[in-house]
Amino acid sequence: MLESLNNKVHDEARQGEPYSPQAVGKKEFRKKFYIESYGCQMNFSDSEIVASILNDNGFGATGNYAEADLVLLNTCSIREKAEQTVRNRLHLFRQVKESRPGMLIGVLGCMAERLKGKLLEEEKLVDMVVGPDAYRTLPGLIEEAEGGQKSVNVLLSRDETYADISPVRLDSNGVAAFVSIMRGCNNMCAFCVVPFTRGRERSRDADSIVRECRELFHNGYREVTLLGQNVDSYYWMDEAADQAVTFARLLEKVALIDPMLRVRFSTSHPKDITDEVLETMARYENICKYIHLPVQSGSTRILQLMNRTYTREWYQAKIDRILAVMPDCGLSTDVITGFCTETEEDHRDTLSLMEYARYDMSYMFFYSERPGTLASRRYADDVPEEVKKRRLDEVVKLQNRLSLEKNKEDVGKTFKVLIEGDSKKSAADWRGRNSQNKVVVFPKEGQAFRKGDYVKVKIEDCTGATLIGRVVE
| Pairing outcome for strands 151-153 and 128-130 | parallel
| Nearer Cβ to ligand SAM (333/407) | 333
User: Cβ(46)–Cβ(197) under 8 Å?
Assistant: no
Q: Which stretch binds ligand SF4 (CB under 6 A): 28-36, 65-73, 100-108, 181-189?
A: 181-189
Q: How far is CA 38 from CA 81, 91, 126, 132, 245, in A?
A: 11, 16, 17, 13, 31
> Which of ligand SAM, ligand SF4, none binds 195 (CB below 5-8 Å, type-dependent)?
ligand SF4
- Tell me how far, at minimum, the Cβ of 307 lies from ligand SF4, in Å: 8
Which residues 6+ apart lie within 8 Å of 97 measured at CB? 103, 105, 125
Closest C-alpha to 421, from 455, 454, 456, 451: 451
Of 32-91, binders to ligand SF4 (CB under 6 A) are none
- Tell me how far, at minimum, the Cβ of 192 lies from ligand SF4, in Å: 3
Distance CA 381, CA 260 (A): 49
| Nearer Cβ to ligand SF4 (188/210) | 188
Q: How far is CA 151 from CA 106, 116, 134, 148, 257, in A?
A: 9, 11, 12, 9, 42
- Tell me how far, at minimum, the Cβ of 211 lies from ligand SF4, in Å: 26
Binding mask 223-242 for ligand SF4 (x = CB under 6 A): ------xx------------
User: Cβ(224)–Cβ(287) under 8 Å?
Assistant: no
Tell me the number of residues near ligand SF4 by CB under 6 A.
9
> Which of ligand SAM, ligand SF4, none binds 367 (CB below 5-8 Å, type-dependent)?
ligand SAM
181 part of the interface to ligand SF4, by CB under 6 A:
no
Q: Quick one: which of 183, 202, 269, 370 contacts ligand SF4 (CB under 6 A)?
A: 269
Of 188-207, binders to ligand SF4 (CB under 6 A) are 189, 192, 194-195
- Tell me how far, at minimum, the Cβ of 181 lies from ligand SAM, in Å: 13
For the chain, report the end-to-end CA distance as a whole number of angstroms.
Answer: 38
Other beta carbons within 10 angstroms of residue 344's beta carbon come to: 9
270 part of the interface to ligand SF4, by CB under 6 A:
no
Distance CA 319, CA 210 (A): 29
364 part of the interface to ligand SF4, by CB under 6 A:
no
> Which of ligand SF4, ligand SAM, none binds 78 (CB below 5-8 Å, type-dependent)?
ligand SAM
Closest C-alpha to 381, from 79, 84, 83, 85: 79
| Nearer Cβ to ligand SF4 (294/330) | 294
- Tell me how far, at minimum, the Cβ of 367 lies from ligand SF4, in Å: 12
Closest C-alpha to 391, from 361, 353, 332, 346: 346
- Tell me how far, at minimum, the Cβ of 198 lies from ligand SF4, in Å: 8
Residues that bind ligand SF4 (CB under 6 A): 185, 187, 189, 192, 194-195, 229-230, 269
